[in-house]
Chains A and B, each alone.
Chain A
Amino acid sequence: MRTARFWPYAAFLCGLAYFIIPLIGMFEFSLRKRRGVYSLDAYTSVLTDPQFQQTFLYSLFMALVAIFIGVLLVVPTAYWVRLRLPKLRPVVEFVTLLPLVIPPVVLAFGYIRLFNTSSVVPFLGSEFGTNILLSCGYVVLALPYMYRAVDTGLRAIDILTLTEAAQGLGASWAAIIFRVILPNVRVAVASGAFLTFAIVIGEYVISALLDRPAFGPYLVWIGSNKAYEPSALAVMTFAITWGCMALIQVITQFSKHTRTPL
């Protein structure tokens, strides 16, 4: 049996090397700013850069808006499709998967042409409109993940019974969705939200083409102008991504434990 494990271990270790070495590389590089010694200078330099703060906060805000719109859009839709329009499910699912097939650069191009100042809905005519457009673009990018997470969450609960019970108590549709259904799929919603966050925070192409001061374009700009700061930023982004995924794991695990007694 021992020898039979050789190849699995060998494969695993090769994979490990491929995935760990770049992380070590970027971490080591980020410490090299000061000549001869390891230092956190690159991090200080990045964190004190006002542009970093502005772009990061901008992207953070955009992510929150995208999560808000996404939840508002996806939860009622997924719920309604499951409850009342099961025939439409393949269609809706197909639409939610489209963003995996249509490249973001194409989408951004479409936005620019469709929503320019002379169009019927001139999102691009104002800064506010452009921001809205950008966050909607983010909702689209996250749609496949968000929808699947919520839909899976809904499958696990008996929405028909919940709905009928709530209706029996005289609840309105809005109350049913936001006070009955949403709390029951909060784990799925949270997973979707963190994933949206991870996608949005480093997004480059749409924000660059819509000319918004987001974190992604800032990263590219830093990349072509500084030597060590990019690595420091990469380390921080990786930590954020890791944090998002860890939080998804934690809430999923936690909710499993609290649910079992039911």
Chain B
Amino acid sequence: MNWLGIVPFAIFALLFLLLPTLNIVLGAFRTQQGGFTLDNITNLAQPRIATAFWVSIKLSFASAAIGCLIGFILATAVALGGLPRWIRQSTLTFSGVASNFAGVPLSFAFIATLGRVGILTIVLRDVFGINLYGLGFNLLSFWGLVLVYLYFQIPLMILIITPALDGLRREWREAAAILGATGFQYWRRVALPILWPSTLGTMALLFANSFGAIATAVALTGSQLSIVPIVLFNQIRGDVLQDPQLGYAIAFGMIVVTAVTNLIYIVMRVRSERWLK
């Protein structure tokens, strides 16, 4: 009778998580009349949607990779760089806030800063004589979006990787040094391989995080930008593609992308973690 205790959770998960997902997966292979078809999937290949997927993947990968890298550097500087303890503590607290400060307000903050009349744009122009927009910068572009996404990606990385950095024991570094290794050799052969699994995991998480992000982009670009979540959003709202079944396929495609990302992560993690219990 023990299983009875988990029934409420199971029902909830089925109803609000698993069945909706399953419904999408099945819908992606159905015609409007209910028969089986692969047309919906092949329809994803139309340039508009394929491009959206490609842009989204690039955007997520770029923001995840850069977020991981910068987050890693900052976490290392704060956790191992010999900075005062209060800096480390405030960095972690701030990261907790910033990683949750996503969505619409975040894009407002960036528009106010780096938009055409944002403070930084103006200060750079009037004080330093640097005309950002004249130099081809645009907040409403691919790299502009990456810049905005980094605001929640970097803190997330810092939050996850700092405990892992704390787990690096001082003796490992010292043992490596006394065996003749340079700092670089220690990082390459010991520290990075040990941190690799958690870095990979965070990377997968950051990828999914920005792949599904939509509010920031909508508030920033007014749902004009062609990334997958926005395409799907528009499709749900107004069926702009004149093909109700295509929505299923797009949603299914999104699940596949994040699932594959996580699969890659799991495989790589297993391979890089042979030395763990």
Contact = CB atoms under 8 A, between A and B. Distances in A.
Tell me, yes or no, whether A and B come into direct contact in the complex with CB atoms closer than 8 A. yes
A249 interface: yes
B24 A80 contact: no
Interface range on chain B: under 10, 10 to 19, 20 to 34, or 35 or more? 35 or more
Interface in A14-34: 15, 18-19, 21-26, 28-30
A219 to B, nearest CB: 4
Contacts of A219: 104-105, 108, 219
A195 interface: yes
A88 B2 CA distance: 11
Interface in B96-139: 96-98, 100-114, 118-120
Contacts of A223: 104, 107-108, 219
Contact of B83 (A8, A103, A109, A112): A8
B119 A24 contact: yes
A208 B219 CA distance: 13
B212 A105 contact: yes
Contacts of A12: 74, 77-78, 81, 83, 87, 91
A202 B105 contact: yes
A5 B76 CA distance: 12
A242 B99 CA distance: 11
Given A25-B114, A109-B232, A19 B94 contact: yes
Helix, strand, loop or mixed for chain B's interface?
helix
Contacts of B24: 106, 109-110, 113
Which of A15, A23, A95, A241 counts the most chain B CB atoms within 10 A?
A: A15
Nearest to B223: A220
B81 A233 contact: no
Nearest to B148: A22
Contacts of B21: 98, 102, 106-107, 110
Contacts of B209: 100
B19 A8 contact: no
Nearest to B14: A95
Interface residues of A, number: 82
Interface in A235-257: 237-238, 241-242, 244-246, 248-249
B6 A7 contact: no
Given A103-B211, A105-B212, A224-B222, A92 B9 contact: yes
A205 B254 CA distance: 15
A70 B104 CA distance: 24
Contact of A233 (B87, B102, B105): B105
A48 to B, nearest CB: 19
Contact of A110 (B20, B105, B154): B20
Given A19-B98, A105-B233, A199-B100, A237 B255 contact: no
A86 to B, nearest CB: 11
Contact of B229 (A103, A220, A224, A238): A103
Interface in A71-127: 73-74, 76-77, 80-81, 84-85, 88, 92, 95, 98-114, 121
Interface stretch (A52-60, A133-141, A162-170): A133-141
Contacts of A202: 102-105, 215
B103 A103 contact: no
A204 B5 contact: no
A136 B112 contact: no
A244 B98 CA distance: 12
A8 B83 CA distance: 7
Contacts of A23: 109
Contacts of A231: 108-109, 112
A9 interface: yes
A103 to B, nearest CB: 3
Nearest to A194: B100
Interface in B8-49: 8-9, 12-13, 15-21, 23-24, 27
A151 interface: no
B5 A238 contact: no
Contact of A209 (B12, B150, B236): B236
17 contacts: A8-B77, A8-B80, A11-B74, A15-B154, A28-B119, A77-B9, A101-B258, A102-B258, A106-B255, A108-B236, A109-B232, A203-B103, A216-B103, A219-B104, A220-B219, A230-B111, A231-B108
Q: Which 4 A-B pairs have the closest CB atoms?
A: A8-B81, A110-B20, A103-B212, A25-B113
Interface of B: 2-3, 5-6, 8-9, 12-13, 15-21, 23-24, 27, 70, 73-74, 76-78, 80-83, 87, 91, 93-94, 96-98, 100-114, 118-120, 150-151, 154-155, 205, 208-209, 211-212, 214-215, 218-219, 222, 229, 232-233, 236-237, 247-248, 251, 254-255, 258-259, 262
Given A25-B110, A29-B113, 12 more contacts: A5-B82, A9-B83, A11-B73, A12-B74, A15-B74, A22-B151, A104-B212, A113-B23, A113-B248, A140-B16, A204-B214, A245-B96
